[in-house]
A and B are shown apart, each in its own frame.
Chain A
Amino acid sequence: MGAELTLTDCTPADHAEICALQEGLWAGGPAGNQAYLEWKYHANPYLDERYTVLARSAPADGSQLLGMVGVFGSSWERNGRRFTLPCLTDTIITSEHRNSPLFHEMVDEVLARLRRDGIPWLLDFGDQGTVPAMLFRGWRQVGVWGQSVLTRPADAWHRKPWDEVPATRGARSGALLTPSRTPDLDAMTEVVRDVPADGRLRVARDRAYFHWRAAHPLATYYYLVARSETGRAEGYLVGHRSGVDTDQGPTPTTVVECEARTPEIHADLIRLAHEALPGTRVLMWTRDLTEAAAAVLADMGAAFIEPTGRPTQDRPLPSLLIRDTGARPVSAALADVDGLDAWDFRGVSGRGWR
């Protein structure tokens, strides 16, 4: 690292400066960015900001903030055990340092801290555009996977606001599908608890997880819950839009979670979501999608974009990179996490409820 830079922890005293630097990325204004920072790194139920690294100029140069790489906690479960895995996120570098090794120096510092604490892996669900550079620096590509895109006409704003979409019976399941702007934590946790695991790693979802995710201050969420005649929760779906865009704005809408007891309920939730969610484009991961749901998307005219294996072509697609920090030992349950077959994305259909 150049002698003129120092790498430091992230403390509350840094927050105002970070928020100003990150405005281009977060776009929430001072109060919104501060709320996002608090939410992601303080309210996160799994990990605080201890692995987030800042780069500053030398004191003689005013100790100016030059860059940040954020690390937040994600929780995964497999065979009854839970694992917290840190994820790389919220990277920004001042324009005058963008053609420098600063990003990799900050990441190397993160890796050193994780190694020191015995944490064997760092995940990155980030932008495909960074893949070649990350691979060159020793990251491994767990995989790239497909995504569906339903494009609607720009003038399709006859749709009702989500709050006014009426509860609807699903054509396949007969379940009652009810839209809401607030999460039904009981229903969602009940469904997740009852959907059997299949031996792969899946996101650990409980009340703490759903409560935290729903509190994202720079996101807008749209919820659907499916219930049977008896009132039992049968499935749920969560749609996401940027909280700094409007329903009619240019950003895509993403189905970030869809979990259900049966393929029929899953398909009904996906159809209603793609009919009623706002936005001109609705995205959804297609890895682990049921045949019934894929048929619904095809029937609605969605495009299915599959990976080519070429980073220059796969840039819009979701992917996972992983970096071995060198910490040992590695739990046997995590020994195969560098292969895509170890990951269960059945219920999680979009990138991380951003």
Chain B
Amino acid sequence: MKDGLALTESAVRDHVHTLLCDLLLRDSLPADHDLRESGALNSVMFLELFVRLETEFGIQLTGADVTQDNFRTAESIARFVCAKRADG
């Protein structure tokens, strides 16, 4: 995945969805499911999410990236990943 520089936004969205479903042991997740409100991502899962975003999308995440705007929903995570990849 990290070499897929031409990855479309749609593909990123699908991959983030799959990744979150894996972490939350769910078959599907609404794109607007509020991760903060649900409290579903515990500390270990959040770190795992960070590791997988870094390895699977070839990006590097800092503490400053962790905002509610970026990580509130699968949709916002996908937008953030696309922007991060575009920043190089």
Spell out A's residues near B (CB within 8 Å). 98-101, 103-105, 129-137, 141, 309-312, 315
Query: Within the complex, which residue of B35, B42, B47 is in contact with A311, where a contact is CB–CB below 8 Å?
Result: B47
Q: List 29 A-B contacts (CB under 8 A).
A: A98-B42, A98-B44, A99-B24, A99-B25, A99-B45, A100-B42, A101-B38, A101-B39, A129-B47, A132-B43, A132-B46, A132-B47, A132-B49, A132-B50, A133-B42, A133-B43, A133-B45, A133-B46, A135-B63, A136-B46, A136-B66, A310-B60, A310-B61, A310-B62, A311-B47, A311-B61, A311-B62, A311-B66, A312-B47
Are A137 and B47 in contact (CB-based, < 8 A)? Answer: no
In addition to A131-B66, A136-B68, 17 A-B residue pairs with Cβ atoms within 8 Å of each other are A98-B42, A98-B44, A99-B40, A99-B45, A101-B39, A103-B43, A131-B63, A132-B46, A132-B50, A136-B46, A136-B66, A310-B54, A311-B50, A311-B62, A312-B50, A312-B51, A312-B61
Known A136-B71, A311-B63; judge A129-B43 contact (CB<8 A).
Answer: yes
Task: Give complex CA distance A55, B80 in Å.
Answer: 35
In chain B between 59 and 88, which residues have their CB closer than 8 angstroms to a CB of chain A?
60-63, 66, 68, 71
Number of interface residues of B (CB under 8 A): 25
**Given the complex, which residues of A lie within 8 Å of B25, measured CB to CB?**
99
Task: Give complex CA distance A141, B25 in Å.
Answer: 30
Residue B36 lies at the interface, judged by CB distance under 8 Å to chain A: yes
Whose C-beta in chain B lies nearest to the C-beta of A141?
B63
Are B36 and A136 in contact (CB-based, < 8 A)? Answer: yes
Query: Within the complex, which residue of A101, A129, A311 is in contact with B40, where a contact is CB–CB below 8 Å?
Result: A101
Are A129 and B36 in contact (CB-based, < 8 A)? Answer: no
Task: Give complex CA distance A133, B47 in Å.
Answer: 7
B51 to chain A, nearest CB (A): 5
6 cross-chain pairs, A with B, having the tightest CB-CB distances, nearest first: A101-B39, A135-B66, A133-B46, A130-B43, A133-B43, A132-B46
Whose C-beta in chain B lies nearest to the C-beta of A93?
B42
Whose C-beta in chain A lies nearest to the C-beta of B46?
A133
Are B39 and A104 in contact (CB-based, < 8 A)? Answer: yes
